[in-house]
Chain A
């Protein structure tokens, strides 16, 4: 059971120890805030107020963040903190506080109205949809167990258990839905926001707010936003389902070869 995790746990531990040593070395020097400064400069300096440019920027940085988390790293946008939201989020909040509504806020397409709200159900890559997809269609005991175990943290947008347990990290099968699901969510959100079907999420929500509730709470309880969240969560699940099936097949093949290999070694 969970052979893949068993095999990968040793290299993961070694990598963690090495990176702890390196990051400690960086921290003891005065340049500890250098990486942060670079990321902040990239993600939040002089954001453009033109909708199309902020749209491209959110998608670009979002895509980069998703790919980076697929590789086990992190980009400027994170599922668990909102530190790199740009000034346009503050402008939106001010508008909403002034007018006592989120409808009509000036910046529809920044990181908090699109990425943090609709692309991070269950963490980077909308992995809550992966959990639902597995629980829905999968018959693989390992997949189901990992999904059940990582359900609670995933509700609060922490998907590390799932990422290394399935595994999703570096798993080419899941690369496509891992990028596609959040991106499709964001595209749907752009359309819905542009057609004024729902208000943008402008209010800040506490860190760790369950992904599917961010839009609902960030719009101060808009039912349209909640409905949209349910639809887009469903869409993401549909996106993940075929890949779950492929992964299951691949795993079955793998296990068969593993068993055969075991037999031949015994002989």
Chain B
């Protein structure tokens, strides 16, 4: 039996199959050629990098490692695997990177901390400039075109100063921002007494991105403050954001762990953060036209 097959020119069968192979390839090629052309046209229109990081700024006297526990808790609680990248901007404008962004992670956390992390208006201006250096470096490194922002305490002030003085919404889109215990009027309880910073913020508010959605969280115990920041000072943010940006929401957290520094461990806060920031549906819409091309 065997020898019979060896002698027989089996290639006849083989050649037929090779011809079939090329027929199948051609049949597959024609429709995929047109659908690829079409896909690339859509893609070029959307021109979207899938990366949409969540950029976080810690409060005064905290370093870039401030949110490690928060990220760990979120990854565990929601069974997600967000990567964490920590940047520290030094006094001489140089940047130190720690951690990395996993390639298939479209929602990584990027924390920007500062070597000089002192309190006070002049320091916040400095830190906003340092943040803009870090931000530009991130943009050229990772090529994202939209992001969400988070600031704890004075981190929110740095965000606001940065948005008013350095941010260019033609280049990049800020989808949502969330801050916790951000004192827009510093320690001032009385909103009629405005600090220099608050009136500066108000003066430049027209430069804030108009399509921004912002959630400001205030913590209180005994109706007045979160232990450090008076609720009136957080609430004063309305003079800056109301009517200027797309949506401005003030959320008041009370109960256990609503103190200024504990708030980011608060389970209520973590679910708000997950709901509004991580699950932000505006971040890299898969089938939506890019807003940037509409603007231009």
Please report A residues at the B interface, Cβ cutoff 8 Å.
Answer: 33, 37, 40-41, 44-46, 83-87, 90-91, 94, 97-98, 100, 131-132, 134-141, 144, 147-148, 151-152, 155, 203, 205-206, 209-210, 212-213, 216-217, 220-221, 252, 255
Contacts and interface: CB of A to CB of B under 8 A. Distances in A.
Contact of A210 (B10, B17, B28): B28
Interface stretch (B30-38, B130-138, B208-216, B273-281): B30-38
A94 B36 CA distance: 17
B25 A138 contact: no
B25 to A, nearest CB: 6
Given A33-B81, A147-B17, 10 more contacts: A84-B103, A100-B44, A136-B18, A137-B11, A140-B10, A155-B25, A203-B39, A210-B29, A216-B29, A255-B2
A136 B15 contact: yes
Contact of A141 (B5, B33, B100): B5
Chain B interface, >50% SS class? helix
Contact of A94 (B2, B21, B143): B143
A132 B14 CA distance: 8
Contacts of A136: 11, 14-15, 18
A155 B28 contact: yes
Contact of B21 (A84, A144, A155): A155
Nearest to B97: A46
Contacts of B10: 138-141, 144
Contact of A40 (B6, B13, B32, B102): B102
Nearest to B16: A135
Interface residues of B, number: 35
Interface of B: 2, 5-6, 8-11, 13-15, 17-18, 20-21, 24-25, 28-29, 32-33, 36-37, 39-40, 43-44, 47, 49, 81, 100, 102-104, 142-143
Given A90-B143, A138-B14, A217-B33, A40 B104 contact: yes
A220 B100 contact: no
A84 B103 CA distance: 7
A94 B6 CA distance: 55
A94 B81 CA distance: 26
Given A45-B100, A213-B28, A139 B5 contact: yes
A228 B21 CA distance: 18
A145 to B, nearest CB: 9
A91 B140 CA distance: 10
Given A139-B8, A139-B11, A212 B25 contact: yes
B17 A216 contact: no
A86 B14 contact: no
A152 B27 CA distance: 13
B47 A97 contact: yes
A86 B103 contact: yes
A86 B143 CA distance: 13
Contact of A97 (B29, B43, B100, B104): B43
A137 B15 CA distance: 9
Nearest to A256: B2
A144 B29 CA distance: 25
Given A84-B103, A90-B143, A213-B32, A220 B37 contact: yes
Contacts of B81: 33
Given A90-B49, A151-B21, A155-B28, A220 B103 contact: no
Closest 10 CB pairs of A and B: A135-B14, A139-B10, A44-B103, A97-B44, A217-B36, A141-B5, A135-B17, A135-B18, A97-B47, A220-B40
Contacts of A98: 47
A141 B2 CA distance: 9
Given A33-B81, A86-B103, A205 B143 contact: no
B103 A151 contact: no
Nearest to A41: B100
A237 B244 CA distance: 66
A140 B5 CA distance: 7
B104 A135 contact: no
Contacts of B5: 139, 141
5 contacts: A87-B142, A135-B18, A138-B14, A206-B32, A220-B36
